Structure 1
Amino acid sequence: MGNLDCFITDGKKKISIRLERFVVYLQSKVVEAVDEHSQVYYLLFYKNNYLNSFKADSVRRRSFLARALRNGLAFPGSHPLVQAFLPHNRLFQKRSATQLFQKLQSDYTPHETALIITFLDSFLSKKDLFERIQSIYYHYRRNGQIFAGYRILRILVDFTPNHSWVKELSNELGVAKFKKMYQDFSEDLWVSDSLFIEKASFKNRKNPEVFQKLLTHFETEKRPIDGAALIREKMKRNASSGYYDMYQDWMNKHYQNVDQIDILEDLYDLAPHFKPLQQDLLQLYLDSRQLTKAIRLIHHHQLSLPNAQAKTMTKLLEKTDVGKELLQMPELTTYIATLYTDSPDKAELILQKCVNQLMTSHDITYILEWLSTLKEKHIQLPVVNRIEKMKELSDDPDAQMQLGELYYEFSQLEQAIDCFSWEMELDHTNPIPVRWLSKIYYELDKKEESKAYQQLYKDLQRK
Structure 2
Amino acid sequence: MNKGINLPTEVSIKDKKQVEKGNVRRAAIFARSKVIEVQTETAECYYLLYYKNSLIYGAKLGKVVEGTFIHKALNEGIIIESPHPLLTALHPHGSITIPNKNKLFSQLQLHYSLQELAYITTTLDSFFEKDQLISIIDKVFFHFRRSGKFMKSYQILLLLNDFSPSLKSVQERMGSREFHSYRDFYQSDLPSILTKDPLFVERHCFHHRAQPEKRLLLADILSKQDSLVSLLLWLENADQQQSSDTITQYTDLALQFVTMEEWIYVLGQMKINPVRVLPDTKKVLEKMLQNGEHEKAALCLFHFIADLPSSYDPLLETIWDHSSCEFILSHLDEFVPFLQHLPHPESTRKEEEKIYQLAVRLLEEHGVLVVHEKLRSISKLFPHSQVIRKINEMIKLVENPDKMMELGDYYAEFKQFDKAIDCFFWEMELQPQNPFPVRKISKMYQYKGLAKEAAAYQKIYDQLKRNQETG
Q: How far 1:260 moved relative to its partner?
A: 3.1
Secondary structure of 2:86 counterpart: helix
List gaps (5 residues or longer) in structure 2. Answer: 1-5, 364-374, 387-471
1:150 to 137, 151, 154: 154
Compared with structure 1, are the counterparts of its residues 184 and 277 closer, same or farther at alpha carbon in structure 2 (3 Å cutoff)?
farther
Distance in 1 (alpha carbons) for counterparts of 2:117 and 2:337 = 61
Distance in 2 (alpha carbons) for counterparts of 1:258 and 1:157 = 40
| Contact 1:292-1:326 at 8 Å conserved across structures | no
Q: How far 1:104 moved relative to its partner?
A: 0.9
1:319-361 CA-partner distances (Å, limit 9, x unpaired): x9756549967787976676446xxxxx88x956556888999
Matched, 1:69 2:70: no
Provide the residue aligned with 2:104 in structure 1. Answer: 100
Distance in 2 (alpha carbons) for counterparts of 1:301 and 1:2 = 23
1:222-274 CA-partner distances (Å, limit 9, x unpaired): x2232122112112xx52123x86355224225335123333434434x44x5
Secondary structure of 1:80 counterpart: coil
Q: How far 1:60 moved relative to its partner?
A: 2.5
Provide the residue aligned with 2:236 in structure 1. Answer: 233
| Contact 1:60-1:66 at 8 Å conserved across structures | yes
Provide the residue aligned with 1:176 in structure 2. Answer: 180
1:105-162 CA-partner distances (Å, limit 9, x unpaired): 0000000000000001121111111111111111111111111111111111211222
Secondary structure of 2:13 counterpart: strand
Distance in 2 (alpha carbons) for counterparts of 1:335 and 1:278 = 18
TM-score when normalising by structure 1: 0.66
* Paired AA for residue 265 in structure 1: Y
| Contact 2:27-2:79 at 8 Å conserved across structures | yes
* Paired AA for residue 129 in structure 1: L
Provide the residue aligned with 2:165 in structure 1. Answer: 161
Distance in 2 (alpha carbons) for counterparts of 1:74 and 1:46 = 16
* Paired AA for residue 240 in structure 1: Q
Provide the residue aligned with 1:436 in structure 2. Answer: none
* Paired AA for residue 136 in structure 1: V
Larger deviation, residues 332-341 vs 48-57? 332-341
Provide the residue aligned with 1:423 in structure 2. Answer: none
1:129 to 128, 133, 145: 133
Compared with structure 1, are the counterparts of its residues 306 and 201 closer, same or farther at alpha carbon in structure 2 (3 Å cutoff)?
same
Compared with structure 1, are the counterparts of its residues 168 and 104 closer, same or farther at alpha carbon in structure 2 (3 Å cutoff)?
same
| Contact 2:264-2:300 at 8 Å conserved across structures | no
List gaps (5 residues or longer) in structure 1. Answer: 342-346, 385-463
| Contact 2:316-2:338 at 8 Å conserved across structures | no
1:159-192 CA-partner distances (Å, limit 9, x unpaired): 1222121111101122111111212344222121
* Paired AA for residue 259 in structure 1: T
1:303 to 290, 301, 306: 306
Secondary structure of 1:32 counterpart: strand
Secondary structure of 1:196 counterpart: helix
Distance in 2 (alpha carbons) for counterparts of 1:291 and 1:98 = 52
Matched, 1:115 2:116: no
* Paired AA for residue 115 in structure 2: H
Provide the residue aligned with 1:250 in structure 2. Answer: 250
Provide the residue aligned with 2:48 in structure 1. Answer: 43
| Contact 1:5-1:17 at 8 Å conserved across structures | yes
Distance in 2 (alpha carbons) for counterparts of 1:73 and 1:20 = 14
1:8 to 7, 10, 13: 13
2:25 to 6, 20, 39: 20
| Contact 1:29-1:44 at 8 Å conserved across structures | yes
Matches within 5 A, 1:307-386: 307-310=310-313, 316=318, 322=322, 324-325=324-325, 339-340=342-343, 351=348, 376=383
Matches within 5 A, 1:401-412: none
Provide the residue aligned with 1:59 in structure 2. Answer: 64
Which is higher, the Rg of structure 1 or of structure 2? 1
| Contact 1:334-1:374 at 8 Å conserved across structures | no
Distance in 1 (alpha carbons) for counterparts of 2:336 and 2:173 = 73
Percent same amino acid among aligned pairs?
24
| Contact 1:336-1:351 at 8 Å conserved across structures | no
| Contact 1:53-1:94 at 8 Å conserved across structures | yes
Q: How far 1:61 moved relative to its partner?
A: 2.5
